[in-house]
């Protein structure tokens, strides 16, 4: 039953939630900055496709252990050719400095070992490369974070391993990135789920 849920129901639930207007607004403002050789981790159902600028992309690789057919369809509609890699980001099959830009949207919450994945992203980025990120995570208020900590063990079982309480900026900086721009605030919806971090980090 769990495999049926994860394979056939959960992708559609995540696609719906990640397509809510407040989340799409973040994509619309961030994704046009992607350029050159781009790697997107957690491509999933391809929600980011409409917001890339195809003329700025030399190539686009999508890595995700559960790539969905919707990603290919959305890429085709957007006029983008993607190379799909059905793996998790903790071990990326690419040489050092292979990409100019890495994109992560609502992905660092679900990767089992986010620290290792971020180290891999740092490795495959070229000098001067950028990490564009849009993530939800730990809220600043003590009471909200307390609820995030209590709910996360149960939430992970329903939401494909999603952690509500990861401190995204700290994880990014610990991997050797320098955060050049960071916006963080609540979006409409339950406060335990909608504290978003959006920004750009450079390879240190």
pLDDT reported for residue 78: 96
CA distance 62 to 40: 5
Q: Starting at the earlier edge strand, list the strands of the sheet with 57-63.
A: 82-85, 57-63, 36-41, 99-105, 125-136, 195-203, 177-186
What is residue 1's predicted lDDT score, i.e. its pLDDT?
41
Reported as a single tens digit per residue, the pLDDT across 142-197 is 999 999 999 999 999 888 889 999 999 999 999 999 999 999 999 998 999 999 99
Distance CA 50, CA 48 (A): 6
Q: What is the pLDDT of residue 2?
A: 52
Say how far apart CA 6 and CA 72 lie, in whole Å: 20
Lookup result for tokens 């207007």: 21
Tell me the per-residue pLDDT of 110-149, one tens digit each, with 9 for 90 and over: 999 999 999 999 999 999 999 999 999 999 999 999 999 9
One of 3.20.20.70, 3.40.50.150, 2.40.30.10, 3.50.50.60 is the CATH number of 2-203, namely 3.40.50.150
- Quick one: pLDDT at residue 3? 72
* 189/114 Cα distance (integer angstroms): 25
Q: Which of 8-17, 34-43, 114-123 has the lowest mean pLDDT?
A: 8-17
Domain boundaries, the chain: 2-203
Q: Is 132 helix (H, G, I), strand (E, B) or coil?
A: strand
pLDDT averaged over every residue in the chain: 91
**Is the sign of the CA dihedral 30, 27, 168, 118 positive or negative?**
negative
User: What is the Cα–Cα distance from 12 to 152, expressed in whole angstroms?
Assistant: 21
Cα 57 to Cα 50: distance, rounded to the nearest angstrom: 13
Read off the pTM.
0.91
98-108 pLDDT, tens digit per residue, is 999 999 999 99
């Amino acid at each position: 039953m769990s495999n049926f849920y994860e394979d056939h129901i959960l992708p559609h639930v995540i696609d719906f939630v990640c397509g809510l207007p407040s989340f799409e607004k973040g994509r619309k403002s961030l994704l046009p900055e992607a350029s050159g050789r781009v790697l997107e981790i957690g491509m999933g159902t391809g929600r980011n496709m409409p917001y890339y600028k195809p003329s700025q992309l030399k190539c686009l690789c999508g890595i995700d252990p559960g790539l969905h057919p919707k990603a290919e369809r959305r890429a085709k509609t957007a006029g983008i050719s993607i190379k799909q890699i059905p793996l998790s980001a903790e071990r990326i099959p690419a040489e050092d400095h292979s990409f100019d830009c890495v994109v992560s949207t609502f992905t660092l919450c679900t990767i089992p070992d986010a620290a290792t994945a971020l180290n891999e992203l740092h490795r495959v980025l070229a000098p001067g490369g950028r990490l564009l990120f849009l993530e939800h995570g730990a809220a600043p208020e003590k009471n909200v974070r307390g609820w995030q900590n209590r709910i996360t063990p149960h939430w992970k079982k329903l939401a494909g391993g999603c952690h509500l309480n990861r401190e995204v900026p700290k994880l990014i900086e610990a991997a050797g990135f320098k955060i050049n721009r960071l916006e963080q605030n609540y979006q409409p919806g339950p406060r335990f789920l909608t504290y978003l971090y959006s920004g750009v980090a450079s390879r240190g």
